[in-house]
Amino acid sequence: MITGPLKGIAAVVLDTDGVITDSARVHAAAWKAAFDAHLREHPPPDPAQRRPFDERADYLRYVDGKSRQDGAASFLASRGLAADDRLVALVAERKEQLFIARLRGGDIPAYPGTVRLLRALRAEGVKLAAASASRHARELLDRAQLLDLFEALVDGAEATRLGLPGKPDPALFLEAVRRLGTPLTRTAVVEDSLAGVEAGRRGRFALVVGVDRTAGPGTGDALLRHGAHLVVRDLAELLTQEAGP
């Protein structure tokens, strides 16, 4: 039985990477390889800006939750590097190739706590949607044998086709809600990125849940500041009344 923060919620929209599947770390590793190569090939004029990409701090601040193009442009600009369309596309494509190689080379598992929550929500008749900036969301869910739990999926390919702006704009989530046919006043968003929780708050969802997988210094507080109503470390916490920041 669903209790706690999700009681009375009719639908839940979840991000994929880092929320449903343990793929955020694979994305981060692929970004690091792509960015570090670019920094070696195009070193910033300021020596202090030539440090390698940080898979934790830089990933969370510049690329997590964003489209590949937006993430690449954001990080390059942070290091004082040219972020024209050609260079952004080059870095984004390099990252894409690295991620695909890892994805096809082995399974990326789903978080057990998330799977428990998803099955409990479905058993209670709660509608589920996945909304992700990644073009690989469908494949990730299919490989994890979870695709049939979702009534709607809006991924990066759909976002491009529909011309939807990236997070922190709420357009991706709002399209998922439109497909579910549920009111915002009874729909929750679950995200692990700062851009994602901000998008949920901007979209005026009934509940915005931040997932703090890293549990690093200040990471939970950052999610709250950007729009999360509450923060959990594992989504199984939402199955109890004790869930909270």
**Closest to 32 in 3D by CA, of 98, 110, 130, 124:** 98
For residues 50 and 40, give the distance between their C-alpha atoms in angstroms, rounded to a whole number.
8
DSSP letter at 83? -
3-state helix, strand, coil in the chain (%, to 5): 50, 10, 35
Active-site option among 17, 70, 155, 212: 17
Residue 17 annotated as catalytic: yes
Measured in residues, the chain has a length of 245
Residue 15 annotated as catalytic: yes
For residues 153 and 151, give the distance between their C-alpha atoms in angstroms, rounded to a whole number.
7
Measured from the Cβ of residue 49, the count of other Cβ atoms closer than 10 Å reads 13
Q: In what order do the strands lie in the sheet with 207-211?
A: 152-154, 127-131, 11-14, 187-191, 207-211, 230-232
- Joined together, the tokens standing for residue 1 give 């039985």
- Joined together, the tokens standing for residue 220 give 């939970």
CB 232 within 8 A of CB 4: no
Active-site option among 15, 58, 64, 155: 15
Tell me the catalytic residues.
15, 17
